[in-house]
Amino acid sequence: MRPPAPRSPSEPAADPVLVLGAGPVGQTAALLLARRGVPVLVVDGRPARDAVGSKAICQQRDVLDVWDWLGGGTIVREGLTWDTARTFYRGQELFSVRLPDPGASPLPPFVNISQSRTEQVLDELLDRAGVRVRWDHRVSGLTQDDEGVTVTCDTPEGPVDLRGTHALSCLGAHGGVVREAIGASFEGTSFDDRFLICDIRAELPGWERERRFYFDPEWNPGRQVLIHPCPGSVFRIDWQVPPDFDLDTERSSGRLDARIRQIIGDTPYEIVWHSVYRFHTRTTDRMRAGRVLLAGDNAHLVAPFGARGLNSGVQDAENAAWKLAYVRAGWAPPELLETYETERHAAALENADVTSATMRFLVPHDEAERERRVSVLDRALTDDGVHAQVDSGRLAEPFWYTDSALTTPCPERPFGGRPPRGRAPAPCPGVMLPDAPVTLPGGPGPTRIRALLREGLTLLVGAVPAADRAGFLARVRGAAQDATHAPVTALYLDDIDTTGALAAALAPEPGQVWLVRPDAHVAAVLAGTDTEALRRAVRTALGAAVRPAAGSADRDEAADGTARTDGTEGAASTDGAHGSARTDGTPPGPGAAPATHAPSPR
């Protein structure tokens, strides 16, 4: 799809949101804020971009979806799509799995692309959007008050104080200065064994679309090796190595070349990059304090098996960005930001639980775990029924906000719990809406439903008899508009679902309304005839029912706990052709600094 044009801030003089850290999570957050008209300033302590190595390479479809909406379709086009995961044990292949792709999204389930290339693409988008990035600004302090946040940065010219309405800290694992400033702990576990990474360039026919995982190969006995294909005939190889492993000695002695030759034989190769690292599992005890939010590795660290690091960080960024934009616009009360903490902290704990189980299988802590690992792998050689117990990592997936204060449960659409590996949960409140091609009546052509959802709150409505179609849709839309000044779109599914993919996934009842948040998560499923229930669900989805956490520093609240807006009614225009309502772009908008003492959204 065509990249969206960045929206100009509705009040350029307003204090920006400060994004701390210019890695992929910070870049994504800044772009999402700018796309919603919020002024933003990015700072980073490095002198300039250090585009080195593959680092986080495996990007999941729903993250690609975010970048595609921001104009970063290059990442999808350049990324290498792998579709086969092969698993070996002591030289024998246990099983081979083709990645399932049951959805209708045109985006692949995963692509492999180096983090440095991803950052380059996102830098180009930041430049195009006019987002300011200040390099050589190392964050050294942070304070907040009733009106905003002050961040102190050390620069070559001396300390600099920067002012913003909020701060989103994406400083990575070493961003302890912000965690300490908000009183957040960072407890967890570090693993003794280390991992050696080598990016090599070589021609390896037949390996281009395969991920290969080796348990206990003869050339790395008792440990693992993982091989991922990347663009440009580059292969990423990860060896588990002992705690005392020394890369310089390995390289100078020729053992590094021998390691590579044991895998690829006599094929010519060149080393593009190599590094050694340790795995950690850590989560902060809080991801939000007042006007400060933590995201990505600044808030949680997990082992890379399953690719849940950067992918979950981007989902942090999207969750934070729409909520910050809506609070600044006065479309939601400040309490909405508390749900960033509850939703994304729950996601962080889920990722820690999943990856910790994987690491217990890969790197057993005690004799009982070692015996279980060997037993599972030995039995898997001859018993296909044991394959599901071989844990080389559960691949990244969006978290489900089924227990969120923003979600209205639907008894007829209950959440079935964590699905089996490789499957998505059935659509229901709290789960991300499946992507699918759609065409708007009178629109320019096919697009994806996800691209429409990010424009505001969306009501997807099941078909009703022709005699009442226009009136029914108007009543549904009007009920939602009664509850919020935020942009609202109401669409009949059968008007846009030209392929039938959405209808097959949702199976909507006649007149049923699927209320979807700006981050594509379903907020409610309810009967369109119950307009009062719809109003409540809209208010709930925007945080009206959220109570501040006990003892939290909600410094961004007005004295009476109401939303900060300029008190206007939020001019909304109805687009009859598409059955949608949009604000006209005048203040209040996401770019405007919040005003005080106005009534909460209706």
Q: How many secondary structure helices (H) and strands (E) does the chain include?
A: 15, 27
User: Would 378 be classed as within a structural domain?
Assistant: no
Asked whether the predicted pLDDT for residue 587 surpasses 90, the reply is no
Asked whether the predicted pLDDT for residue 10 surpasses 80, the reply is no
Residue type, 549: A
User: Would 416 be classed as within a structural domain?
Assistant: no
Q: Residue 526: its pLDDT value, please?
A: 97
User: 126-135, 334-343, 387-396: which has the minimum mean pLDDT?
Assistant: 387-396
Span 35-50, average pLDDT: 96
End-of-domain residue from the set 351, 370, 401: 351
Percent of the chain clearing pLDDT 70 (strictly above)? 88
**What's the CATH code of the domain at 228?**
3.50.50.60
User: 38-42, 50-54, 321-325, 374-378: which has the minimum mean pLDDT?
Assistant: 50-54
- Residue 337 and residue 466 in one domain: no
How confident is the model over 425-457, as pLDDT tens digits? 999 999 999 999 999 988 887 889 999 999 899
Q: Residue 7: its pLDDT value, please?
A: 52
User: Would 340 be classed as within a structural domain?
Assistant: yes
- Residue 178 and residue 323 in one domain: yes
- Residue 347 and residue 441 in one domain: no
- Residue 346 and residue 442 in one domain: no
- Residue tagged 């065409």 (tokens): 439
pTM for this model (two decimals): 0.88
- Residue 292 and residue 182 in one domain: yes
Q: Residue 100: its pLDDT value, please?
A: 58
At 545, the pLDDT band (50, 70, 90 cuts) reads confident
User: Would 596 be classed as within a structural domain?
Assistant: no
Alpha-carbon distance 77 to 68, whole Å? 10
User: Would 357 be classed as within a structural domain?
Assistant: no
Q: Residue 442: its pLDDT value, please?
A: 81
- Picking from 103, 57, 117, the residue whose alpha carbon sits closest to that of residue 396 is 57
8 A C-beta contact, residue 80 and residue 231? yes
The dihedral through the CA atoms of 131, 16, 332, 348 has a sign that is positive
Structure-model confidence comparison of residues 554 and 460, the more confident one? 460
Q: Residue 165: its pLDDT value, please?
A: 97
**What's the CATH code of the domain at 506?**
3.40.30
Span 296-318, average pLDDT: 93
Angle at 301 between CA 295 and CA 247, to 5 degrees: 130
- Residue 451 and residue 336 in one domain: no
- Residue 103 and residue 244 in one domain: yes
Asked whether the predicted pLDDT for residue 558 surpasses 60, the reply is no
Alpha-carbon distance 343 to 341, whole Å? 6
Span 503-513, average pLDDT: 95
End-of-domain residue from the set 321, 351, 381: 351
How confident is the model over 236-280, as pLDDT tens digits? 999 999 999 999 999 999 999 999 999 999 999 999 999 998 889
Other Cβ atoms less than 10 A from the Cβ of 124: the count is: 13
Please count the residues of the chain: 602
At 101, the pLDDT band (50, 70, 90 cuts) reads low
End-of-domain residue from the set 351, 384, 411: 351
User: 32-41, 89-98, 247-256: which has the minimum mean pLDDT?
Assistant: 89-98
Residue 447 token pair: 């697009």
Alpha-carbon distance 308 to 295, whole Å? 13
- Residue 343 and residue 467 in one domain: no
- Residue 144 and residue 290 in one domain: yes
Asked whether the predicted pLDDT for residue 319 surpasses 50, the reply is yes
User: Would 396 be classed as within a structural domain?
Assistant: no
How confident is the model over 187-246, as pLDDT tens digits? 998 888 899 999 999 999 999 889 999 999 999 998 999 999 999 999 999 999 999 999
Structural domains in the chain (count):
2
Residue type, 572: A
8 A C-beta contact, residue 499 and residue 485? no
User: Would 590 be classed as within a structural domain?
Assistant: no
Q: Residue 549: its pLDDT value, please?
A: 60
Average pLDDT, the chain: 87
User: Would 393 be classed as within a structural domain?
Assistant: no
How confident is the model over 457-502, as pLDDT tens digits? 999 999 999 999 999 999 999 999 999 999 999 999 999 998 999 9
Q: Which domain holds residue 441?
A: 437-583
